[in-house]
Structure formats: structure tokens, C-alpha cells
Amino acid sequence: MKTFLIKTLGCKVNTYESEFIRTLLLQNNFEEVFDNADICIVNTCTVTNTADNKSKQVINNIKKTNPNAIVVALGCFTQFRKNEITSLINADIILGNKDKSKVLDYIKEYEKNKKQIVVFDDMENLGFEDMEIKTFHHRHRAFVKIEDGCNNFCSFCIIPYVRGRVRSKEFNKCIMEINDLSLSGYKEIVLTGIHTGQYNSNGKRLSDLINKISENKLIKRIRLSSVEIVELDEGMMNVLKNVKEFVSHLHIPLQSGSDRILKLMNRRYDTKEFMSIVEKIRSIRPNISLTTDVIVGFPGETEEDFKETLDFCRKVGFAKIHVFPYSDRNGTVASKMKDKVIGNIKKDRVHRLIELSNKLEMNYFNSFIGKKVTVLIEEEKDNMYYGFTDNYIPLKLSGNYKTNEIYKIVLTKEIINFDMES
């Protein structure tokens, strides 16, 4: 029996795609191992220059430590560096972001001919590449990729160039996959994509999909991995009002609280519009957890711009801020901008925003102490049980619990798991 291992870098979409590949190989009598494999697959990331370097390092290290293995490199890094990729990495099969679902066919072709395979397609005008999974290894939340690609072209982001334009999984295929996952025992579904809020299958939008999923009584929680503020339309507001299975948590990337910087970033909203939609959300679900991403030290960001970001984050009252220091991504508009923020200033601003995030997170957690919450137990380790509430508070419990079950408990400070990434 041939063995395989998969290394996954980057986002939840990559996690889903790797799970599909894993399932495909298991179904074809391969055995999964974690070192010394016959087949080594690396699903790469290119979101930053650092991600490029890590992808290259992981691929080349795998070839060194598994010299007799068939090494497969695929994903965003290989797609972006396709014109020079064979000089950067030592791999036997090199694919981009298309035909990941056909990786087994390429492995068989290589085994037959023993010749390096390098295949890239134009990322324009692609259809959605169907994949389906019925189980999600080592997880009690199942990710379902419903969309791929992005049309926004934010000035700091390379993803539209390596993932292509927006395209969506056919509505009924989404429902069938989710039904299968529910029959496999999954109670929480996380809908994911590069730009999830742009989901559109023959006129059926994200809110239509969520409404249909909620009809499955085996699904107790429906979550989004991320959604843009401008995509929280009336349909999504009605979801918040009427779909009790939709969790009280939204991750909404802000990126900056300065309107001047948002314009330079080519974001499609300003702080006034962002706040207006947040107020609508909170008028429906006052206690919802809103988390966000912020880029610190974008080219041209002044101290005044940064203070506007601090003030705006405080005003919104995010439950958590994921802070990213800006770094140039070759090939983007922002990488060519002037007035780069120097390292020590950027580092100081990152520290100040993280400090604010910690305070806001503590305030949010404390607001639920003494109240009843529901928790999905996702892991048991050393007689302790770990999971998240529906509004994404991480908990660590002792007692008589079972994994993949949902419990109602009273929240106390002692069971909040501050060490767990939320």
C-alpha cells in the first residue's frame, strides 16, 4: 500500500481542498502517514512574500527528507510564480489552482512515465472546480467551499490574480454535500470561499443558501468563515432575524479605520457605511460577536490615520481584531506605492492595536459571564474538553462531556480558554 502526506499552508479554502485530496487518496487505497511518505503533497500559499518563501522552503525540504517520494506542489504560490517555478522548487508534479481534483490522475501519469509534469491554466473565465467531501478529518466543524475567486482587486492583494474571478458551486450540489456531512454527524457547517459573500448560483445568493441549509434539522449551527461588510444585504439581515441556526458571530474584514487609507487600499466602503451596517446588525442581534482583520502600516499611513483606526475599532467594539503588519506583496499596486512605513513605527502600531484588541476581547467575554451559552465540544485532551460557543468564545471544560455534542452551560471566567485562538 502506497503512503502519502499532505502539507497545507494558508487559508480555509486550502484546508478544504486538501481534505478533498486526502479523501480521494484514501478512497484509492493509499495510507496517510506524517513522514517518509511515497507521495508528498504541498498545497501552497502566496498571500505575502513571506508565504512564498515558506511554500518554497516546505517543498524543497520535503524533497530532501523524502528523496524517493513523488513530490506534488500546487496552489497559489506555484500559480503566481509559474513562469519561474521549475527553477525555484524541486518537485515532480507542479500544478496551479486548477485541476487539484485531478491530482491522482497526475500521480498515475508520473508513475507511468517518470517525467516531470508541469501544468498551468489561464485563471480567466474558469468554471467552479467541483469537489465534495463527506467527512472532515480531526474536525467537528465541517468547512464547505461554496465559492472561489475574487473580483475586488484590493491594492494590497494578489489573490484575484492567482485564484481568478468569482465563481460559485451549484446550489443543489452545495445542499447535497452539506446533507451528506450532516449524515456523517457534523452539527456545524462553516461556509467558506475566497469571497464567500459573492456566492451566486443562477441567481440564488448566500442568504438563499443559508435558508435552505437551515431546513436540515441535523445541522445545529451555520457559520461563515468571513464576509465583506457590503455583502451584508437585506437577505443576510433576514437571515440574522429568522435563522436561529445561524451563529451570533461574523468575521468582517475592516483593514483600516481611516477613509483615506481605505481609498488607497481600493476597499469598496468607507467608515460611515461600515458603521451604518454594523448598527443594523446590532439592532437585530445586539450581542453578536463581530471580529475583524486590520492591516497596520499600509504605505502612506500617518499617525493620524492610525489613530483614526484605533478610534474606529473602539467605536465598533469588535470582539477581536486580527492584526497584520503590512508587507509588500510583489505584483500588487500597493507594493509600488511610496511613503512606506518604517519597521519600528509599524511594530509600535501593531502592539498598540493588539493591546486594544485584548481589551475589547476581555470586555466582550466578560459581558457573558453568568449567562447561559451553548458550546460545541470539539476536542478532548487530558480529561479536558475544548470548544466554542456559538458567538465564538473559546472554552475549556472539565466534567462529563462528549465530543461533537452541544451543551448549555453558564459561562464563568474560569472556563474561558484565553490560550485558544478564536
pLDDT digits (tens, 9 = 90+) for 156-210: 999 999 999 999 999 999 999 999 999 999 999 999 999 999 999 999 999 999 9
Q: Which residue has the cell 437571515?
A: 239
- Whether 141 and 16 have beta carbons less than 8 Å apart is answered as no
**For residue 277, which amino acid is it?**
I
pLDDT for res 135: 83
Distances (CA, A) of 243 to 210, 237, 374, 391: 8, 10, 16, 15
User: Considering only CA atoms, which of 30, 49, 29 is closest in space to residue 40?
Assistant: 30
Low-confidence residues in the chain, pLDDT < 50: none
State the pLDDT at residue 421.
62
Phi, psi of 86 (to 5 degrees): -70, -20
Matching residue, cell 481568478: 164
Residue 414: CB atoms within 10 A of its CB come to 9
d(CA 247, CA 240): 9
The helix/strand/coil state of 11 is coil
- pLDDT value, residue 377: 96
φ/ψ of residue 200, rounded to 5:
-155, 110
Judge whether 381 and 403 are in contact, CB under 8 Å: no
Q: Which residues pair with 324 in a beta bridge?
A: 295
The rounded distance, in Å, linking the Cα atoms of 44 and 57 is: 11
pLDDT tens digits, 240-297: 999 999 999 999 999 999 999 999 999 999 999 999 999 999 999 999 999 999 999 9
- C-alpha atoms less than 13 angstroms from C-alpha of 371 in its C-beta half-sphere: 12
